[in-house]
Structure 1
Amino acid sequence: MASFLAARRLLSTAAARRLLPCTSPPPPATAALCWLSTDASPPPPLPAPPLEPAVDPPKKDGASFSAGSGAGGAYRTGQGAASGGRRSGGAGYEEEQQKVLRASLLHVPRMGWSESAMIAGARDVSVSPAIVGAFPRKEAALVEFFMDDCLQQLMDRVDAGEGELLKNLMLTERLSRLVRMRLEMQTPYISKWPQALSIQSQPANVSTSLKQRAVLVDEIWHAAGDSGSDIDWYVKRTVLGGIYSASEVYMLTDNSPGLHLF
């Protein structure tokens, strides 16, 4: 009987313990079980750690620049941006380059299309000869500048009144006159022009040379009054390009007075 009563007390005590709420904070290992057995809600999540301030990478002094295209026309338009990275005031540096290249042309008949002519031209305009090192392809830069300068002179002559005279001529005569006007600009350099052709045909320069000639042929057609955009556009320019190149080569062997090109 005594053992039976002791057993009932043990069962009653165990039942009472199961019904008691979880009043004290449980150890970390049993915390989740305590929350599931009561109506208490889980604690709010911890706030996210503050973000570190973003720091921009340090910038290097001076703007980056490309080596330059090398085309003579680029020294009027695109090369200024490239040379501007070398020193402040890109426009002023571009003007210096033009002055040096233009003055160098006066020495080409004697020194050829060479770095020596460019150094002499720099001295003529009171610029340090060290500027020659700013040209990525020295001799090619001089030839390409001359090509672009001649094209600009040709267009200026057409705009100045030559275009009105061309209107009275047949199309073939207009083309012939424009090609002759352009080739006559090479007369002072005729003895050194084989060297110029050799420079233009070098692998590093041939792409720029072809572009310059394509622009020249296109401008001649426009000055002659052609504004078509059909398939003949390519045929016309290809034919005129061949005529121009053949006339240019013929100039090198023409010893007649006045260069009888046509």
Structure 2
Amino acid sequence: MTDSERSPQEQLLDAALTHVAFDGWTETTFRAAVADTGMDPVMARALYPRGAVDLALAFHRRGDAQMVARLKAADLSAMRFRDRIAAAVRYRLEAAEDREAVRRGTTLFALPMHAADGAKAIWGTADLIWNTLGDISDDVNWYTKRATLSGVYGSAVLFWLGDDSPDHQATWAFLDRRIDDVMQIEKVKAQVRGNKFLSGVLAGPNWLLGQIKAPVRRHDSDLPGHWSGSGKP
């Protein structure tokens, strides 16, 4: 793809990636990318107001988009659902071809002032996976699914960063173990629901959790969820 076919945002991000391995996601990298593209610094700052931090987030979103495209193109119908989740996480890791850029991003988002951005990015990846795989939950499970998968994905990224095994086989084995752990939790939850005594004991907490709803898909709301006393959206 030629420069004329790429958006200014993409051009700036690609230019930044040539510097990240040496300077990290820093202001130095941002300025070097601006110089390499010959872009007006004012325009570059308008595209990425926080400089390298926004570039790092754009790099993460690029990987998310590649994962979603691959998931939509793949035939996963013969897979168990847990295997579809594993495939999605694997696709996401494989989309991040520049491991050093991911490593530098992990360092950046470990800083207290950027930790919220990092957590939001990981949550966004988990949300995309569930949505792409057809999740229709609209209660507290909407949150627990994404929180659990965020933990799985985050731990898989850290393992992958240090994995030198052929074709990252150790990472895929680690991922399978983590998903198996999650499935055990779901199995216990099902057993609790099927136990009359425990169901009675937890009736109150279960009712309370039942009032929590998934976010309303509206343009005028970016809240993480909403409360409905009637139990309805």
What TM-score comes out, normalization by structure 2 length?
0.61
Post-superposition shift, 1:241? 1.1
Correspondences of 1:1-262 after superposition (within 5 Å): 95-128=7-40, 135-159=48-72, 161-162=73-74, 165-188=75-98, 190-260=99-169, 261-262=171-172
* CA deviation map 1:115-163 (0-9, x unaligned): 333333333333245656554432212211111111122222233x22x
RMSD: 2.4
Alignment check: 8 A CA contact 2:67 2:95 kept: no
What TM-score comes out, normalization by structure 1 length?
0.55
Q: Give the % identical residues.
A: 27
Structure 2: gaps of 5 or more residues: 1-6, 173-233
Counterparts of 1:138 and 1:152 in 2: how far apart (Å)? 21
Post-superposition shift, 1:255? 0.9
Alignment check: 8 A CA contact 2:12 2:33 kept: yes
Structure 1: gaps of 5 or more residues: 1-94
Counterpart code for 1:248: V
Alignment check: 8 A CA contact 1:100 1:121 kept: yes
Counterparts of 1:225 and 1:133 in 2: how far apart (Å)? 37
Structure whose alpha-carbon radius of gyration is higher: 1
Higher relative contact order (CA 8 A, sep 6+): 2
Alignment check: 8 A CA contact 2:122 2:153 kept: no
Counterpart code for 1:137: R
Describe the shift of the 1:243–1:206 C-alpha distance in structure 2 as closer, same or farther (beyond 3 A).
same
1:69 equivalent in structure 2: none
Post-superposition shift, 1:178? 0.6
Counterparts of 2:104 and 2:77 in 1: how far apart (Å)? 36
Post-superposition shift, 1:195? 2.7
Which structure's residues are more often helix, by fraction?
2
Alignment check: 8 A CA contact 1:115 1:132 kept: no
Counterpart code for 1:108: V
Post-superposition shift, 1:192? 4.6
Counterparts of 1:124 and 1:168 in 2: how far apart (Å)? 47
Alignment check: 8 A CA contact 2:66 2:95 kept: no
Counterparts of 1:111 and 1:185 in 2: how far apart (Å)? 22
Alignment check: 8 A CA contact 1:150 1:182 kept: yes
Counterparts of 1:110 and 1:166 in 2: how far apart (Å)? 39
Post-superposition shift, 1:193? 3.2
* CA deviation map 1:57-104 (0-9, x unaligned): xxxxxxxxxxxxxxxxxxxxxxxxxxxxxxxxxxxxxx5344212321
Post-superposition shift, 1:175? 0.5
Counterparts of 2:101 and 2:62 in 1: how far apart (Å)? 17
Q: Which secondary structure state, in structure 2, belongs to the residue aligned with residue 169 of structure 1? A: coil
Counterpart code for 2:124: V
